[in-house]
Structure 1
Amino acid sequence: MRTGAGREAIVIGGGVAGLATAALLGADGWHVRVLESRDELGGRAGSWERDGFRFDTGPSWYLMPDVFEHFFRLLGTTAAGELDLVPLDPAYRVYSDPATGAEPLDVHSGRAAATALFESVEPGAGAQLSRYLDSAADAYELATTRFLYDTYETTAGLRDPALVKRMPQLAPLLTRTLASHVERRFADPRLRQILEYPAVFLGGSPYGVPSLYHLMSHLDLDDGVLYPRGGFVEIVRAIARLAEAFGAVIETGARVTAITTEGGEASGVVLEDGRRLSADLVVSGADLHHTETELLPRAQQSYPERWWRRRTPSPGALLVLLGVEGEVPQLTHHTLLFANEWRAGFDDIFGPRPRVPDPASLYVCRPSATDSTVAPAGHENLFVLVPVPADTSLGRGGEQGAGDPRIEAAADRAIRQIEDWCDIPGLKERAVVRRTVGPADFAADFGAWRGNALGLAHTLGQSAVFRPRNASRKVPGLAYVGASTLPGIGLPMCLISAELVVKRLRGDRSPGPIAERARV
């Protein structure tokens, strides 16, 4: 890779990872052009408006605030200076199948509140959770200082004596699944589900991701959950604003059809409209499978089709966007519905005979509980996520029930489940706006491999040193950012992914984040 102020860089994709890369490169003196194929920015962190409702169509949990803060500080600002962040209390509500007779649980962040809740459900679980969260906090500190910000160009970080000394404690966390780690400590199904569900944020199953990822519980139970007023589109706007402030030119409706090379090195791109643009550096924030198999010839692919045949995608997603007349106080900002058939549901998604779980474990976001700008007065904004197999044959969604039959039928089942479990009669009839999104939409709109919703799942073999790097092995001058490259899935990971590109260009092989410095 080459570096140096005044050079030209092209970033493919105006998602969060691409925009963040543009901002950081611009701050380092690069002349950056961002090429986004769609008419709006954000990628999977999208936004959709209809009849006074504004829906986030992607991420909706603001976690790892320290990563956001670090990113903004690298650009001379702060999260508070760019976003209006609101703490959520409760962090979320959990419903169980009514057949169990279990009352809903409100989960409040903070050690005292979380341990009190666990103790009230299962005697002794409060003290057990406190120990669990101590371990989770330690794992999170280890991840952010040793693993997430490492480009893995060398093994020096992994051979650090301080890390080697901790291997006896670390090894079991890498070889044991999250589910086994949780279930040996807690007996109540609801408590297990609260601690295991974060695997979905990682694009995986608690029966497949390593227990090191119990660190996720540090985020919601110890650290807290925030919401950027105006929605997650405000994060996209903030990063785009900073990229442009550092000189980036952002172009929408600009679909790249090929990455060009000269002398074996990346030299630019070809666009669908026939333009050929030159650059010293090309960074692709497009789906990694699409980048490798569609934008590069076979001889230049670091991750050809045969490599992907041995990999595990994250689940697909059925999204149901509902603009509802009247209030829905039964739902908090974040609400989770956990099915009794917990393991069977994950087997339905990841197993050898994939199908849409029924009943499914659902996630419902009600941002109108916190933000009056996302729905007209007297109405509610609901975003429903049903994890499904990464399978484009499930079809595409549509507006007002016009999607493919399997998608709409599954959406109807999810709405009925919310009505029954949360005691919200007539929810379907109260929806004045309805839109569904299916795996085939993710494939068509984002080039998502197999229609997956998040990227490569965080199995042990697809995490850390085993995850695709941020630079092509075959084409010097070609870098990758996004959810299928290092370090992984989620908005904070996309910000770190952008930073890893900059670290490579600087020749920085340290395992930690770039030192912050004030900018004027």
Structure 2
Amino acid sequence: MSVQGNTGTPRVGGRRAAVIGGGIGGLATAALLAAEGHTVTLLEKQGQVGGRAGSWEAGGFRFDTGPSWYLMPEVIDHFFKLMGTSAAEQLELIRLDPGYRVIFEENREAVDVPADRPAVVKLFESLEPGAGEALEKYLDSAEDTYTIAKRRFLYSTFESFLPLLRPDVLVRLPKLVRLLLQPLSGFVAGRFADPRLRQILGYPAVFLGSSPFDAPSMYHLMSHLDLDDGVLYPMGGFTSLISAMTKVAEEAGVEIRTGADVVSIDTTPLDTAAANRGSSRRRGPRRPGARVTGVSYRSGGAVHRVEADVVVSAADLHHTETVLLPDDRQTYPTKYWSRRVPGPSALLLYLGVKGSLPQLEHHTLLFTADWKDNFGRIFGAETSIPSPASLYVCRPSATDPSVAPAGDENVFVLVPIPADVSIGGGGVDRAGDARVEELADAVIAQIAEWAHIPDLAERIVLRRTYGPRDFASDLNAWRGTSLGPAHTLRQSAFLRGSNRSRKVEGLYYAGSSTVPGIGIPMCLISAELVVKRLRSDTSTGPLPEPA
């Protein structure tokens, strides 16, 4: 894909910007920068934009290759409104009811989680007397925490902490401190006894690339998103979201170059000695030692260059810092990453299945009985692949007939596993590494047994696997993680790291590796934070939407 007519000459009052990576974060950043009046070139390594939110088609089946939960719809709508449109104009959104199904290992009982709060409260009460009232209080707390997070933390660059010192934050400070220091698992266990309810309330930690035993209980706010707000689905799949974002970016003037593998962020030294001596006397911050001049990328067997005054890398931050920059210009060098915790990697399966699968909902979760052991194997000091594993199955053909041939099913499976590239990579029709394919066989057998689909394996007519090595090779993902750095206490909010380089003037970061974190909504917010940096905007809320 390429847009003609972008000469590289800055618009009046604008700057030349190069954006690295065409995933959600990169597309959103490029679009917003172009809407600000900058001349923007987006460089994507793969042959299509989307990043983790890509698309793959074969045999009449079309698969979303990554994200499949449409949460925080107001954040997605806000992005489109900043671009002069809306999610309602760009997407056809369907509310799923039930929101999802859960199958538990011990009794193989399926529990359908409804789409509205009163029904969810009734469900909890039926599983544990008194749990309905406890859930009401839990969700009230989750909503309050989500509201304050969105108002004061998610949209903050943390360039200044003064805007955080507001009455609504200060009055909640004791609660917020408790939520930061207590793990989500303990917070849930103190309110619910039934292990099934604990798992339903604890699993959203996986969306954050973490474990309920490690994620701060601040993230109980996630339950507000699926149990209060409900789960939506964009008809056509998440590729429709990527298509809509690409469209508004191009209409704003973004030039998209695919098949463009960035090999370096180009810089030039700054004469900062005098300025830094002055900064030291004033106890101010030291100035960067270099500034960006552009980006070099490989395409068609040759190296090309895009000149730029601003560079935003929405690629993996570890790759950006340790590969695209020289050692003396790295804000986050190799030693920094030795102290970081990666989110999990994943085994992904894309399965085309003959006939119908009513045993599976649009979203189905399979939870093992030994919950703590399952997560310990993924995040512990010594990792291994859980067996059996807690896993997630998406059957979008339950809602969307466009993703599979008539009468057949599209099945996407995600199994969280350790971030370890030695596990290997996948392929089509058993062409992946032996370990990955053996694991896929075990997972298919597990789904068949737990969901009571005895002939599942025989009905699979299309099979593709994807493993940790694929995340590393396709997305330059640190240690083959499928999501990015985990949301532990030390890797959340301002402790996650800055979205601006301290060593290189004009270099910024977006995407799941930086603030505010993992997931489609967070990546959209990260794009907005780049705009705020360029505006020197230290406010804590979202940018105002145009009339």
TM-score, structure 1 as length reference: 0.98
Q: Give 3-state SS (helix, strand or coil) of 1:234's partner.
A: helix
Give the structure 1 partner of residue 359 of structure 2: 330
2:305 is equivalent to residue 276 of structure 1: yes
TM-superposed CA distance for 1:3, in Å, is 12
The alpha-carbon distance between structure 1 residues 4 and 137, as it changes in their structure 2 partners (threshold 3 A), is: farther
| Deviations, residues 158-217 of structure 1 (Å, cap 9, x unaligned) | 322431221111111010000000011111111000000000000000000000000000
Q: Give 3-state SS (helix, strand or coil) of 1:10's partner.
A: strand
TM-superposed CA distance for 1:468, in Å, is 1.7
Give the structure 1 partner of residue 65 of structure 2: 57
Residue from 70, 78, 91 that aligns with 1:83:
91
Contact 1:34 1:251 in 2 (8 A): yes
TM-superposed CA distance for 1:290, in Å, is 0.4
Matched letter for residue 241 of structure 1: K
Give the structure 2 partner of residue 8 of structure 1: 16
Give the structure 1 partner of residue 191 of structure 2: 185
Give the structure 1 partner of residue 279 of structure 2: none
Contact 2:61 2:352 in 1 (8 A): yes
The alpha-carbon distance between structure 1 residues 171 and 4, as it changes in their structure 2 partners (threshold 3 A), is: farther
Give the structure 2 partner of residue 73 of structure 1: 81
Q: Give 3-state SS (helix, strand or coil) of 1:197's partner.
A: helix
The alpha-carbon distance between structure 1 residues 121 and 440, as it changes in their structure 2 partners (threshold 3 A), is: same
Contact 2:11 2:37 in 1 (8 A): no
The CA distance in 1 between the partners of 2:178 and 2:73, in whole Å, is 28
2:518 is equivalent to residue 489 of structure 1: yes
Q: Give 3-state SS (helix, strand or coil) of 2:56's partner.
A: strand
The alpha-carbon distance between structure 1 residues 3 and 394, as it changes in their structure 2 partners (threshold 3 A), is: farther
Moved more, 88-97 or 4-13: 4-13
Contact 1:25 1:32 in 2 (8 A): yes
Q: Give 3-state SS (helix, strand or coil) of 2:340's partner.
A: coil
| Deviations, residues 286-337 of structure 1 (Å, cap 9, x unaligned) | 1100000000000000000000000000000000110000000000000000
The CA distance in 2 between the partners of 1:420 and 1:235, in whole Å, is 34
TM-superposed CA distance for 1:4, in Å, is 7.7
Give the structure 1 partner of residue 130 of structure 2: 124
The CA distance in 2 between the partners of 1:271 and 1:21, in whole Å, is 19
Q: Give 3-state SS (helix, strand or coil) of 2:538's partner.
A: coil
Residue from 298, 309, 321 that aligns with 1:292:
321
| Deviations, residues 334-358 of structure 1 (Å, cap 9, x unaligned) | 0000000110000000112211100
Give the structure 1 partner of residue 274 of structure 2: none
Contact 1:90 1:107 in 2 (8 A): yes
Residue from 139, 157, 165 that aligns with 1:159:
165
| Deviations, residues 95-151 of structure 1 (Å, cap 9, x unaligned) | 011xx3352100012210110000000000000000000000001001110100000
| Deviations, residues 407-427 of structure 1 (Å, cap 9, x unaligned) | 111111111111000000111
TM-score, structure 2 as length reference: 0.93
The CA distance in 2 between the partners of 1:239 and 1:468, in whole Å, is 27
Give the structure 2 partner of residue 92 of structure 1: 100
Structure 1: unaligned runs, 5 residues or longer: none
Give the structure 1 partner of residue 6 of structure 2: none
Contact 1:259 1:266 in 2 (8 A): yes
Q: Give 3-state SS (helix, strand or coil) of 1:38's partner.
A: coil
Residue from 219, 225, 228 that aligns with 1:222:
228
| Deviations, residues 57-112 of structure 1 (Å, cap 9, x unaligned) | 10000000110111111111110101111100000000011xx3352100012210
Residue from 400, 419, 429 that aligns with 1:371:
400
Q: Give 3-state SS (helix, strand or coil) of 2:18's partner.
A: strand
2:293 is equivalent to residue 267 of structure 1: yes
Matched letter for residue 225 of structure 1: V
Contact 2:108 2:451 in 1 (8 A): no
Give the alignment's Cα RMSD to 1 decimal. 1.2
2:531 is equivalent to residue 480 of structure 1: no
Give the structure 2 partner of residue 387 of structure 1: 416
Give the structure 2 partner of residue 231 of structure 1: 237
Q: Give 3-state SS (helix, strand or coil) of 1:386's partner.
A: strand
The CA distance in 2 between the partners of 1:465 and 1:414, in whole Å, is 38
TM-superposed CA distance for 1:157, in Å, is 2.7
Percent of matched pairs sharing the same residue:
60
Which consecutive segments of 4 or more residues in structure 1 shift more than 6 A? Answer: none
The CA distance in 2 between the partners of 1:483 and 1:152, in whole Å, is 17
The CA distance in 1 between the partners of 2:41 and 2:205, in whole Å, is 35
The CA distance in 1 between the partners of 2:326 and 2:107, in whole Å, is 58
Contact 2:319 2:478 in 1 (8 A): yes
| Deviations, residues 202-260 of structure 1 (Å, cap 9, x unaligned) | 00000000000000000000001000000001111111111101000001001110000
Q: Give 3-state SS (helix, strand or coil) of 1:221's partner.
A: helix
Contact 1:85 1:226 in 2 (8 A): yes
Structure 2: unaligned runs, 5 residues or longer: 1-9, 270-289
Matched letter for residue 44 of structure 1: R
Matched letter for residue 266 of structure 2: T
2:40 is equivalent to residue 32 of structure 1: yes
| Deviations, residues 478-501 of structure 1 (Å, cap 9, x unaligned) | 110010100000000000000000
2:473 is equivalent to residue 467 of structure 1: no
2:54 is equivalent to residue 46 of structure 1: yes
